């Protein structure tokens, strides 16, 4: 075996089905020989994003992998890895690297050195015999603790070097940690004593696959469930205790219950301060539960903490709350309290939807983006949908309004907001869940960044649905480029993206009137069900409003 064969064999042992890659790396051929399918993308940033989306849907138990060439290849991948790092996604990046003698020769790009600030671990392999140990460490770091990308830069000569001895490699397991029992007792007591407790779910609930347990805990307390941007769909948002998720925009009931809460239990969230996520309201008792103790008291002072896997934390709380309820007299009125809370949330949700009916039911031309979201929710089987957004206006419009009906049916993101990331996530999600309808909603500016990679979908038979809101303007930047736009029209962008898609072998349709949306969606579903991608271009209105309520 040479070094490339060793890498491919280890990837196969770790369950790798697809190798996202561009444009050359010796591991590509070695992986293909072992029936690991290469997905050759059109640019490196998308390649990392495909691995990212795959890891998200596989919940980190099988990791997406991206391979790049040395020099310009891994240089171009930096943005994708930085995005995965911001979103805490466990992907493996394997670039080729300059030989050891050139590692300190300027201006050669040393990936392991440059990538350290945006990876959980980055290392350089100069000897083929190091590969098994290095790969084991890489998978240990990806699969355990806080998720994040790992980079293993392999010197070009190592790929061709002969490996001595027998390769003895075993898969790295996921290792879960349980919370301190004494802390569980304290927190359970605090939850039962609170007048208006609230559960705040983060992305860790997805990785722990703890949606059902979280819903059970909410019903037991009882408490409403809010979510962070990446935590959206931690429980089905059709659940009567679900408040939805938040970026800068949020459902009205989300803000109402954040104001009302006297105790907040954040589960599976780093509680990182971000410009595009919800804040922790002042004056609340805050309990923080996360898998990484370094998150505790990082950005927000907390009153108590539970360190551990989200599923194990929730299960421990359910057991302890049941024990404390039996020991006391607090069970009286639980059913009545649960019913009253559910009725309140249902009434608030109905009133909020009525506020937005003028947008959701709009017949205006150009088309109101919220009308598209409404028609998608009515037309598609949301039980079988995995949907994501792009940054800017599509994120702010979709995230509050799209109601998931299954846990894990939404991929939210926003700690970093690179245009075009959503397309890559949808590609990776479809590879991970081929029976699901995988959708990305993007704007025309996002399409300009990464739209060429819809050809990757066509060439590889990745049957995603891409919805482009084409309002021919960079609307989100209007307030910061006002005078330059008035003088030089700096915000104007344009194009016929349905024609671009057709030129890239993707079936497409452009709609200009609201009545055309549903027929176009039905055509799109027939196409994707046949195993081919589809692009739906919506000629959308220039103005916009967001569901923003303060708390």
Is residue 374 domain-shared with residue 403, that is, in the same domain?
A: yes
Residue 235 CA to residue 239 CA, distance in Å, equals 7
Are 244 and 254 in contact, with CB atoms under 8 Å apart? yes
In this prediction, residue 473 carries a pLDDT of 84
pLDDT averaged over every residue in the chain: 96
Beta bridge partners of 389: 441
Domain-ending residue, one of 347, 370, 396: 347
- pLDDT tens sequence across 467-512: 999 998 887 777 888 899 899 998 888 899 999 999 999 999 999 9
- pLDDT tens sequence across 53-105: 999 999 999 999 999 999 999 999 999 999 999 999 999 999 999 888 887 77
Residue-by-residue DSSP string for 128-160: GGGHHHHHHHHHHHHHSSS---EEEEEEHHHHH
Confidence of residue 328 (pLDDT cuts 50, 70, 90): low
**Strands, sheet with 65-68, edge to edge from the N-terminal-most edge strand:** 37-40, 18-22, 65-68, 92-97, 150-155, 121-125
Domain count, the chain: 3
Mean pLDDT, range 430-437, rounded to an integer: 98
In this prediction, residue 442 carries a pLDDT of 97
In this prediction, residue 513 carries a pLDDT of 98
Confidence of residue 10 (pLDDT cuts 50, 70, 90): very high
In this prediction, residue 101 carries a pLDDT of 80
Is residue 131 domain-shared with residue 194, that is, in the same domain?
A: no
Q: What is the pTM of this model?
A: 0.96
Is residue 33 domain-shared with residue 76, that is, in the same domain?
A: yes
Residue 520 CA to residue 540 CA, distance in Å, equals 15
- pLDDT tens sequence across 503-514: 999 999 999 999
Is residue 407 domain-shared with residue 485, that is, in the same domain?
A: yes
In this prediction, residue 331 carries a pLDDT of 65
Mean pLDDT, range 212-226, rounded to an integer: 98
Is residue 274 domain-shared with residue 227, that is, in the same domain?
A: yes
User: What percent of the chain shows pLDDT beyond 70?
Assistant: 99
Residue 509 CA to residue 288 CA, distance in Å, equals 47
Q: Residue 391 domain-assigned?
A: yes
In this prediction, residue 332 carries a pLDDT of 67
Residue 438 CA to residue 446 CA, distance in Å, equals 18
Confidence of residue 543 (pLDDT cuts 50, 70, 90): confident
Q: Residue 546 domain-assigned?
A: no
Reply yes or no on whether the pLDDT at 186 is more than 70: yes
Confidence of residue 330 (pLDDT cuts 50, 70, 90): low
The domain in which residue 293 lies consists of: 181-347
Output the domain CATH number for residue 364. 3.40.50.970
Residue 63 makes CB contacts below 8 A (sequence gap 6+) with: 14, 16, 51, 54, 55, 90, 91, 92, 139, 142, 143
Output the domain CATH number for residue 278. 3.40.50.1220
Q: Residue 174 domain-assigned?
A: no
Is residue 531 domain-shared with residue 384, that is, in the same domain?
A: yes
Mean pLDDT, range 233-251, rounded to an integer: 97
Are 217 and 314 in contact, with CB atoms under 8 Å apart? yes
Residue 123's alpha-carbon distances to 49, 116, 131, 443, 485, in angstroms, are: 21, 8, 11, 37, 46
Mean pLDDT, range 276-289, rounded to an integer: 93
Reply yes or no on whether the pLDDT at 369 is more than 90: yes
Q: Residue 547 domain-assigned?
A: no
Residue 109 CA to residue 233 CA, distance in Å, equals 40
In this prediction, residue 146 carries a pLDDT of 95
Torsion, Cα 313 172 90 270, to 10 degrees, reads 20
Alpha helix segments (H runs only) across 194-249: 204-207, 211-220
C-alpha atoms less than 13 angstroms from C-alpha of 202 in its C-beta half-sphere: 27
Is residue 312 domain-shared with residue 408, that is, in the same domain?
A: no
Reply yes or no on whether the pLDDT at 232 is more than 90: yes
Mean pLDDT, range 366-390, rounded to an integer: 98
Is residue 22 domain-shared with residue 134, that is, in the same domain?
A: yes
Is residue 460 domain-shared with residue 518, that is, in the same domain?
A: yes
Mean pLDDT, range 139-155, rounded to an integer: 97
| Length in residues, the chain | 551
Instruction: Show the beta-strand stretches assigned E in 362-456.
Output: 385-389, 410-411, 437-443
Q: Residue 225 domain-assigned?
A: yes
Is residue 191 domain-shared with residue 146, that is, in the same domain?
A: no
**Look-up of token digits 């392991």:** 112
In this prediction, residue 325 carries a pLDDT of 87
In this prediction, residue 485 carries a pLDDT of 87
Are 344 and 198 in contact, with CB atoms under 8 Å apart? no
Is residue 123 domain-shared with residue 224, that is, in the same domain?
A: no
Is residue 9 domain-shared with residue 100, that is, in the same domain?
A: yes
Domain-ending residue, one of 160, 190, 209: 160
H or E segment and range at residue 395: helix 393-401
Mean pLDDT, range 265-288, rounded to an integer: 94
Mean pLDDT, range 394-408, rounded to an integer: 97
Residue 236 makes CB contacts below 8 A (sequence gap 6+) with: 211, 215, 242, 404, 405, 406, 407, 409
The CA-based angle 167-173-177, given to 5 degrees, is 150
Mean pLDDT, range 110-121, rounded to an integer: 97
């Amino acid at each position: 075996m040479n070094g490339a064969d060793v890498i491919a064999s280890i990837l196969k042992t770790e369950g790798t089905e697809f190798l996202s890659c561009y444009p050359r790396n010796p591991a590509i051929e070695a992986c293909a020989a072992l029936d690991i399918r290469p997905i050759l993308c059109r640019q490196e940033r998308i390649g990392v994003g495909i691995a990212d989306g795959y890891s998200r849907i596989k919940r980190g138990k099988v990791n997406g992998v991206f391979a790049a060439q040395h020099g310009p290849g891994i240089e171009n991948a930096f943005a994708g890895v930085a995005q995965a790092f911001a979103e805490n996604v466990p992907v493996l990046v394997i670039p080729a690297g300059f030989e050891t003698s050139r590692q300190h020769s300027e201006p050669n790009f040393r990936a392991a050195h440059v990538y350290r600030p945006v990876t959980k671990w980055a290392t350089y392999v100069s000897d083929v015999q190091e590969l098994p140990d290095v790969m084991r460490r890489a998978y240990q770091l990806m699969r355990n603790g806080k998720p994040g990308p790992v980079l293993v830069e392999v010197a070009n000569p190592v790929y061709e070097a002969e490996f001595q001895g027998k390769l003895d490699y075993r898969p790295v397991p996921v290792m879960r940690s349980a919370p301190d029992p004494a802390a569980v007792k304290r927190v359970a007591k605090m939850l039962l004593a609170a007048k208006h407790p609230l559960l705040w779910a983060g992305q860790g609930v997805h990785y722990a696959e703890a949606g059902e347990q979280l819903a059970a805990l909410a019903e037991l307390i009882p408490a409403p469930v809010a979510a962070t941007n990446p935590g959206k769909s931690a429980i089905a948002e059709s659940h009567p205790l679900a408040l939805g998720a938040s970026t800068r925009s949020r459902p009205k009931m989300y803000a109402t219950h954040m104001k009302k809460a006297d105790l907040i239990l954040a589960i599976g969230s780093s509680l990182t301060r971000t410009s595009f996520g919800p804040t922790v309201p002042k004056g609340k008792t805050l309990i923080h539960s996360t898998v990484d103790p370094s998150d505790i008291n990082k950005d927000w002072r907390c009153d108590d903490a539970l360190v551990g896997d989200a599923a194990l934390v929730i299960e421990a709380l359910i057991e302890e709350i049941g024990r404390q309820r039996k020991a006391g007299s607090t069970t009286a009125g639980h059913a009545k309290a649960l019913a009253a809370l559910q009725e309140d949330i249902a009434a608030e949700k109905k009133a909020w939807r009525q506020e937005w009916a003028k947008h959701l039911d709009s017949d205006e031309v150009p088309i109101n983006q919220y009308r598209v979201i409404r028609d998608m929710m009515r037309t598609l089987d949301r039980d079988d949908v995995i949907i994501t957004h792009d940054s800017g206006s599509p994120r702010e419009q979709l995230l509050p309004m799209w109601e998931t009906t299954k846990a894990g049916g939404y991929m939210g993101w926003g700690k970093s907001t690179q245009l075009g990331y959503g397309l890559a996530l949808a590609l990776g999600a479809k590879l991970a869940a081929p029976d699901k309808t995988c959708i990305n909603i993007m704007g025309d500016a996002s399409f300009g960044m990464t739209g060429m990679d819809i050809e990757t979908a066509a060439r590889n038979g990745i049957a995603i649905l891409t919805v482009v809101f084409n309002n021919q303007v960079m609307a989100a930047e209007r307030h910061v480029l006002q005078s330059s736009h008035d003088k030089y029209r700096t915000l104007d962008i344009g194009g016929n993206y349905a024609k671009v898609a057709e030129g890239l072998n993707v079936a497409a349709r452009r709609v200009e009137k609201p009545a055309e949306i549903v027929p176009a969606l039905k055509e799109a579903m027939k196409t994707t069900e046949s195993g081919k991608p589809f692009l739906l271009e919506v000629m959308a209105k220039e103005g916009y409003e967001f569901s923003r309520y303060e708390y």
